[in-house]
Amino acid sequence: MRRATDASLPTFGTMSSKASESKMSSSQYSYIFKYIIVGDMGVGKSCLLHQFTEQKFTADCPHTIGVEFGTRIIEVSGKKIKLQIWDTAGQERFRAVTRSYYRGAAGALMVYDITRRSSYNHLSSWLSDTRNLTNPGTVIYLIGNKLDMESNRDVSYEEAKQFADENGLMFLEASAKTGEYVEDAFLKTAQIIYECIQDGRLDLNAADSGVQQKILQCETNPNVEKDKSCMQC
């Protein structure tokens, strides 16, 4: 079974996690994309983030009490892009607070657990929050997580695919445990955002586009005027 829905997407540039890249300075990427990850508690949001940024899986990952983030620099069509990923708490009691974090996201990863039907049933409420709190250009990717637990599956691929199609979402199934299709979700989202920028569908000047264009040479000589401001402290 092929999980990624859109097989016609072109392949992406190689990623930049190799050791040789570690000396790369901040001025070497062209864009920053902000992502958020949302979904019920325990569906594996934090694990997906860790798998993507650190290539590791923590079996007993604690609940997220707040909002954590990770970053990774990737390459799309030869351009380096820094992904800045916000992983939110899924517990219901924090729902009102996590709503503050949607704004300005260029990509939203909406996660459910394929072995827990309730997490799938709540998707429409997550989707309406995402739609209401982000801008129309935000790319929403639906991820069915815990693909490695096929035997406990509670939501079929076809059913979720239909939900995604009806709501115009990208969709795939992945496993934060094995790492299967995790890269795909993050990278395809970036790819689509990048295309939107290229053909003008995403307005970079809008304050909440979730994309920042890195302007090189923004370093000023900090010694010159800061002396003054510090004198008053």
Partner 1 sequence: MELSAIMKDKLNAGDNVVALHEGVLLQGWSPKAHRLLALVERNLSFGLFVFTTSRNPPQAFTDLTINFVVPIDSDFKCDIDSLSAESNSDIYINLSARNFKLFMGMDSGHETNHFFNELSRSMDLYLKNQQTLDFQWLKKYNINDIDLELGLMMNINGDNTSNNIITANMAVAENDISFPTGTQTLSSRESVIQRQMILSEEQYTNAQNFRIYIGTWNVNGQPTLSSLNDWLTCDSEPPDIYAIGFQELDLSKEAFLFNDSPREEEWLQAVTKSLNSKGNYKKVSLVRLVGMMLIVFVKNKHMDHVKNVATDTVGTGIMGKLGNKGGVAVRMDFHNTSLCFVNTHLAAHVEEYERRNQDYQNICSRMVFSNFIPPKTVKDHNQVYWFGDLNYRITEMDAISVKDLVRKNNFKNVLEADQLKQQHRAGNVFKGYKEGSINFLPTYKYDPGTNDWDSSEKNRAPAWCDRILWRGNSIKQLAYRSHPNLLISDHKPVSALFESEVRVVDLTKYRKIHEHIMKKLDKAENEYLPQVMVDNTEIIFHNVKFMEPQLKELTVANTGQVPVQFEFIKKLDDSTYCKEWLRIEPFMSFIDPGEKCDITLEVLIDKKSAYKMISGQDKLYDILVLHLDGGKDIFITVTGNYERSCFGCSLETLCYLKVPIKNIPFGKLMELENNKSNMTSDPYPVPKEVWYLVDHLYRHGLKQEHLFEHSGLRSEFVQIRNWLDNGTPDALPGSVHSVAEALLILLDSTSEPIIPYNLHATCLSAVSYYSQCKQIISQLPERSKNVFLYLCAFLQELLNHVNDNKLDVKTIASVFGEIFIRDPPRSRSDKSGHTRTSMSRKKTNFVYHFLVNDQSDLIINTSF
Ligand X SMILES: Nc1nc2c(ncn2[C@@H]2O[C@H](COP(=O)(O)OP(=O)(O)OP(=O)(O)O)[C@@H](O)[C@H]2O)c(=O)[nH]1
- Where on the chain is the footprint of Mg ion (CB under 5 A)? 45-46, 64
Residues of the shown chain interacting with partner 1 in the complex, contacts defined by CB under 8 A: 16-19, 21-26, 32, 34, 53-54, 65-73, 82, 84, 89, 93-94, 96-97, 99-101, 103-104, 207-208, 212-215, 218, 222-223, 226-227, 229-233
Min dist CB 130 to partner 1, Å, is: 15
Which of 133, 157, 132, 151 lies closest to 142 in space, CA to CA?
Answer: 157
117 binds, among ligand X, Mg ion, partner 1, none (CB under 5 to 8 A by kind): none
Work out what residue 93 binds among Mg ion, ligand X, partner 1, none; the CB cut-off runs from 5 to 8 Å by kind. Answer: partner 1
63 binds ligand X (CB under 6 A): yes
**43 exposed, middle or buried (CB, 10 Å; 0-12, 13-18, 19+)?**
buried
Which of 189, 191, 146, 153 lies closest to 169, judged by CA? 189
8 A C-beta contact, residue 85 and residue 53? yes
Q: Is 209 in the site for ligand X (CB under 6 A)?
A: no
Q: Distance between terminal CA atoms of the chain?
A: 64
Q: Residue 230 and residue 21: Cα distance in Å, rounded?
A: 36
- What does 60 bind: ligand X, partner 1, Mg ion, none (CB cut-off 5 to 8 Å by kind)? ligand X
Pick from 166, 106, 109: which is nearest to 136 by CA? 106
Query: Nearer to Mg ion by C-beta: 46 or 175?
Result: 46
- List the single partner that 145 binds among partner 1, ligand X, Mg ion, none, CB under 5 to 8 Å by kind: ligand X
- Residue 138 interacting with ligand X (CB under 6 A): no
The type of residue at 181 is Y
Rounded Cα–Cα distance for residues 105 and 210 (Å): 5
Asked if residue 55 binds ligand X (CB under 6 A), the reply is no
Q: Which residues are near ligand X by CB under 6 A?
A: 41-47, 59-61, 63-64, 89-91, 145-146, 148-149, 175-177
